[in-house]
Amino acid sequence: MRTADIRQRFLEHFAERGHTVVPSAPLPTPDPTLLFVNAGMVPFKPYLTGEVPAPWERAASVQKCVRTLDIEEVGRTTRHGSFFQMNGNFSFGDYFKEEAVTYAWDLSTRSQTDGGYGLDPDRIWVTVHHSDAESRGIWRRVAGLPDERIVARGDEDNFWSMGVPGPCGPCSELYYDRGPAYGPEGGPAVDEDRYMEFWNLVFMQYERGEGAGKSGYPILGELPRRNIDTGMGLERMATLLQGVDNLYETDETRPVLQRAADLAQVRYGADPEADVRLRVVADHVRTALMLLADGTAPGNEGRGYVLRRILRRAVRSMRLLGYEDPVLAELLPVARDRMAPSYPEVAEAFTRIAGQAGAEEDAFRSTLRQGTTVLDTAVARIRADGGRSLPGAQAFLLHDTYGFPIDLTLEMAAEQGVEVDREGFTALMNEQRERARADARARKAGGTVDTTALRAVLDAHGPTDWRAWDTLETTSRVLALLGPAGPVPVAGTGDVVTVVLDRTPFYAESGGQDSDAGLLSGGSVEAEVLDVQRPLPGLVAHQVRVTAGELAPDDTVHAAVDAEWRLGARQAHSGTHVLHAALRQVLGPTALQAGSYNRPGYLRLDFPWRGALSATVRSEIEEAANRALRRDLPVGVRWMTLPEAKELGALALFDETYGEKVRVVEIGGAWSRELCGGTHVEHSAQIGTVALTSEGSVGAGMRRLEAAVGIEGFGYLARERDLVSRIAGQLGAPRAELPDRVAGLLDRLKAADRENARLKQQATTARAVELAERAGDANGVRIVTTTVDGGVPEARALALAVRDRLPGGVPGTVAVGTEDGALVLALNDAAREAGLHASQVVKRLLGGRGGGSADVAQGGGLGPGEIAAALTALPAVVTAR
């Protein structure tokens, strides 16, 4: 049975039993504690915890998940995959244990001709929590399981919680006996390779208190509404139903593995180490496909770094298999064809996906060449000195300067028998991160607020009444004042605190739009609003600086958004939509927004594209955007379901999570139609103008457009006009003639540079002839020492010119010092044949510093006295070989 069919049967089974089928959420998640959705329940977490009322009593989904904590185990075990799909059914205060067990048993054991999976009921084992006699009785009654196949286990295996105070409860897991070929008998407590877990039923019925670990925390009592949260591993069920050994050999993964094996000309199953690498490739290519499809782009931080690491591990695994040509273009289409039946978006977005992946592979191949050379040199030096550890500073240099991920350094160093000072590397990384955090804190006043304190406010008062779409002013009550240490009783002049209001007109930063600015005022108090965020779903928090008087909880204040600020924000956000539509109009549908930021007067938009945009293309994009402004297109908002929005062709940002109803912003109807929660103008002409200010790269296969908008856009154009006027005045030329006049000046400058280089070369040649004729002799070695007024390039050019003019059959050595403290040494062929090595000679002259090749080497950072001493010592060093 194909994986796509297993998926469909699951959804149909639960839809027939009153469950609403909920589409998979995108892999990037807004949960601040996660980079990606890593379990099927993550999108349902607010409903399970009671933070937000559930829109359904019963739901079912097949959720895309990514886990990378065990990435080193991928390919080495049968159970670890970085991308997987979790089938789940959920009850929010509706049914409980008996129904959950009945639904799972029925689907698992019903015959395939009747729509089930057809598992042999005599080979299914279950586990229950040792305290859960109720579940044991249900399994006996519903499934007829004997006691010996109902295994009692402890908290570590069969009690679930989120790791923090909140809902918890016992769970019951289903295992399938794959037979004696996979291990010893005795049930899942004996061998979990033979007895493969395929479904976990969580009975969420208690509330837990504070405590670390998976046990030892207090149970505070029963939940007012009991929930069901189950997860059936789709890949595991496919492994069982397709009769293969592991998840890498199922129908969605094996074709990628086989294509990789064909390219590398190896046979899967012939060599254990090669098999691991093939499984890594198959898993990582599929994971990368799904992450790229959901809008994640390779980068150096967070989600982007995870994707970059996965792509690079796949590429490098193929190189270790002996295949060194570009490989992603060969493997991604195979993964696409296998995943598209369940996720058609991977086919729809494949041109973009392939472009981003190809650019990342190209960049990595370049990085690999440079970084490998640096790493190999460092390892050789360590070995020569008798060491076995690469310093943390060297690993950090590889990461920071050459883009070499630390995991790659660890792998490659280990292959050469060298350890890495991981602690030293981590310390340097932490220093760099702390500098970045300090810089961010300097740009954004005030400190952080403990999430526990914010959650207490949300629990006590409920969600914020958010009015940003409707008004610029509200009369509001202060629900809480919070600082880094928790609640604050009062805030005086100069204090920066976080304020939670019962209602607010302020837009909280989201969807690329910066937060509003404005004031809170009332009585004798006035406070400037510095920042507005949504730290928890439903809660809006304002960071304010009190500029006069005192602010306290329960105060009534007038909350007013700065109208000019909001106007600029609306212009910039609508301008972003217009620029996005213009970009796609000119470049085509693959130029899909991958990230944006806008504030009054400014916008930026990132999109996948290989290669810089020409001046002509940039002009076409800008013209298309401003033509839309001139047409004064209407801007409208419509609410609809997500499937309706997709059917309408609305574009969705992948890193956003959408509810049952979505907000669609249209500019000119279908010309620009996007899901968006931001604030917008009423007609496109209100944007004023969109003036492109820059276009450049922000990573492999990713470009960024920046633009000035509204009055700032007109100001930018006015400054450009004034600049052109000044240049025209200085050159005494009409504006229309400026390009030709400037081109003529550049041509003359280039000609002058060429003439200067020719004269310089003549001077160097003349001096080289003179120095070669006056070469000294030290025990049969011709020696030339001198200095130059320039730097290393001039010294190197002179040293090589002199060397080439020394007699060919006689060993010759040339040393040239520079005015900026460097020394360059060059040897001829005869000197090397006589046993001299330029790098070794430089190190002897400079006390171990410097290095290079056998014929040319150099050292730097020398004082005038050191250069003179080195030049004087050269004869003794070369004759002491």
Mean pLDDT across the stretch 746-762?
Answer: 90
Q: Which two tokens stand for residue 535?
A: 């730290």
d(CA 764, CA 796): 11
For the chain, the average pLDDT equals 89
- Given pLDDT bands bounded at 50, 70 and 90, which one contains residue 434? low
Of 589, 523, 530, which is closest to residue 562 (Cα–Cα)? Answer: 530
Q: What percent of the chain has pLDDT over 70?
A: 95
The pLDDT of residue 403 is 67
Return d(Cα 870, Cα 868) in angstroms, integer: 5
Confidence class for position 3, pLDDT limits 50, 70, 90: very high
Q: Is 399 annotated as a binding residue?
A: no
Name 548's bridge partners. Answer: 526
Contact between 582 and 499 (Cβ < 8 Å):
no
Q: Is 680 annotated as a binding residue?
A: yes
Greater pLDDT, 653 or 526: 526
User: Which CATH number is associated with domain 451-561?
Assistant: 2.40.30.130
* CA atoms 240, 243, 246, 250: torsion sign: negative
> Is 66 strand, coil or helix?
strand
Half-sphere exposure of 627 (CA within 13 A, CB side): 12
* 261-269: average pLDDT: 94
676 annotated binding-site participant: yes
| pLDDT tens digits, 138-169 | 999 999 999 999 999 998 889 988 777 788 89
User: At the top level of CATH, which class does the domain 761-879 belong to?
Assistant: alpha beta
Listed by start position, the domains of the chain span 3-249, 254-362, 451-561, 567-722, 761-879
Task: Please name the residue that has the structure tokens 């990384």.
Answer: 429
Per-residue CA distances from 88 to 39, 64, 726 (Å): 10, 11, 68
Q: What number is the average pLDDT over the span 254-276? A: 93
Type of residue found at 531: D
Task: Give residue 468's pLDDT band: very low, low, confident or very high (50, 70, 90).
Answer: very high
DSSP 28: B
**Does residue 87 carry a pLDDT above 80?**
yes
At 590 the pLDDT is 79
Q: Which of 310-314, 496-500, 672-676, 757-761 has the lowest mean pLDDT?
A: 757-761
In sequence order, which residues have a C-beta less than 8 Å from that of residue 313 and are 6 or more positions away?
Answer: 71, 280, 284, 407
The separation between the first and the last C-alpha atoms of the chain, rounded to the nearest angstrom, is 75
pLDDT of residue 844: 87
Please check the confidence at residue 78 and state whether its pLDDT lies above 70: no
pLDDT at 442: 44
* Structure tokens belonging to residue 330: 């060969």
The closest of 593, 582, 597, 671 to 634, measured between CA atoms, is 671
The pLDDT value given to residue 657: 57
pLDDT digits (tens, 9 = 90+) for 16-66: 999 999 999 899 887 666 788 888 998 888 888 777 888 899 999 999 999
Give the residue ranges of DSSP H helices in 149-271: 155-158, 234-242, 254-264
DSSP element (H, E) containing 103: helix 97-109
Mean predicted confidence (pLDDT) in 678-683 = 95
Per-residue pLDDT at 448: 60
Does the structural domain 567-722 have CATH classification 3.30.980.10? yes
Residues 376-412 have pLDDT tens digits of 888 877 877 778 888 888 888 887 776 676 777 887 7
Mean pLDDT across 787-796: 88
pLDDT tens, position by position, 609-659: 878 899 999 999 999 999 999 999 999 999 998 888 888 888 876 545 566
Q: What is the pTM of this model?
A: 0.64
pLDDT tens-digit series, residues 537-590: 889 999 999 999 999 999 999 999 999 999 999 999 999 999 999 999 999 887
Q: Which CATH superfamily is domain 3-249 in?
A: Bira Bifunctional Protein; Domain 2 (3.30.930.10)
For residue 435, name the pLDDT band (cuts at 50, 70, 90): low
Residue 129 marked ligand-binding: no
Average pLDDT over residues 82-103: 95
Mean pLDDT of the region 231-260: 94
State residue 397's pLDDT score.
Answer: 81
Task: Between 251 and 298, name the one with better pLDDT.
Answer: 251
Q: How far apart are CA 127 and CA 122, in angstroms?
A: 15
Q: How high is the pLDDT of residue 552?
A: 93
How far apart CA 129 and CA 215 sit, in angstroms, is 13
- pLDDT digit string, tens, across residues 528-538: 999 999 988 88
**588-613: pLDDT as tens digits:** 887 888 889 999 999 999 988 878 89
Average pLDDT over residues 265-282: 92
Q: What is the helix (H) or strand (E) element at residue 835, kind and residue range?
A: none
- CB-CB contact of 582 with 628 (8 Å): yes
Report how far apart, in Å, the C-alpha atoms of 317 and of each of 258, 276, 311 are. 14, 9, 10
Domains 3-249 and 451-561 alike in fold? no
Q: How far apart (Å, rounded) are the C-alpha atoms in residues 448 and 741?
A: 56
> What was the pLDDT predicted at 34?
78
pLDDT over 90, % of the chain: 56
